[in-house]
Amino acid sequence: MRMYFCGSIRGGRQDVAIYQRIVRKLQEFGLVLTEHVSHADVSERGEDVELQGDLAIHDRDMQWLHTADVVVAEVTQPSLGVGYEVGRAVDMQKKILCLFRPSSGQVLSAMIRGADDGSPNSFVQVRDYAEDEVETVLDTYFSTFSSTV
Ligand SMILES: O=c1[nH]c(=O)n([C@H]2C[C@H](O)[C@@H](COP(=O)(O)O)O2)cc1CO
């Protein structure tokens, strides 16, 4: 399984430790295309733009997104890039799991929460979770995933 993980970079790196937990768990299920999102040495300036350039980052990520079987987005720390990726993935009719921590005090955008119509078959599933249950939430989602893909 090919997975595209979304997490804030220029939107702020305060949740990088939880991104690492998510990516480690996802790697039990298959290939995480965007592992770099969880790297502690990627600062909120982003990847090395002098090497890559924003156009190259965007085009590489959109190519990966096209090839992904599933998208997992940690959406607690608001990020324009994550919102864009989720929107593009909806348009590509990808299965998308959005993970949100209410304990952050943030209120999730209606454009993300409202993309889940509440049915178990919705392509977009939004899950509220507490940090210490993240692995269980992923186990539960992926246990049903293979039978619905
Ligand atoms: O350097 C980068 N590399 C990269 O892959 N991204 C992608 C992956 C992340 O899920 C998302 C983060 O967007 P933002 O930087 O707006 O928070 O965009 C974003 C940046 C910087 O915007």
Ligand 1: residue of 4, 6, 10 to mutate (most ligand atoms within 8 A of CB) is: 10
Residue 8 has pLDDT above 50, yes or no: yes
Q: Is 11 in the pocket of ligand 1 (CB under 6 A)?
A: yes
Note the helical H segments in the chain.
Answer: 16-26, 54-67, 80-91, 110-113, 134-148
Alpha-carbon distance of 102 to 100, in angstroms, equals: 6
Q: What is the ipTM of this complex?
A: 0.99
What's the chain's average pLDDT?
95
Q: Which of 7, 60, 5, 2 is nearest to 31 (CA)?
A: 2
Q: Is 82 in the pocket of ligand 1 (CB under 6 A)?
A: yes
> Is residue 10 very low, low, confident or very high in pLDDT (cuts 50, 70, 90)?
very high
Q: Is 79 in the pocket of ligand 1 (CB under 6 A)?
A: yes
Over residues 23-58, the pLDDT tens digits come to: 999 999 999 999 999 999 999 998 876 667 999 999
Residue ID of nearest Cα to ligand 1 atom 10: 6
Residue ID of nearest Cα to ligand 1 atom 2: 46
Q: Is 75 in the pocket of ligand 1 (CB under 6 A)?
A: no
Over residues 67-104, the pLDDT tens digits come to: 999 999 999 999 999 999 999 999 999 999 999 999 99
Ligand 1 centroid–CA 111 distance in Å is 19
Q: Is 57 in the pocket of ligand 1 (CB under 6 A)?
A: yes
Token readout for 79 is 């990020």
Check residue 144 and give its pLDDT. Answer: 83
Alpha-carbon distance of 126 to 41, in angstroms, equals: 28
Q: Report which residue type is found at 81.
A: G
Q: Are 67 and 2 in contact (CB under 8 A)?
A: yes
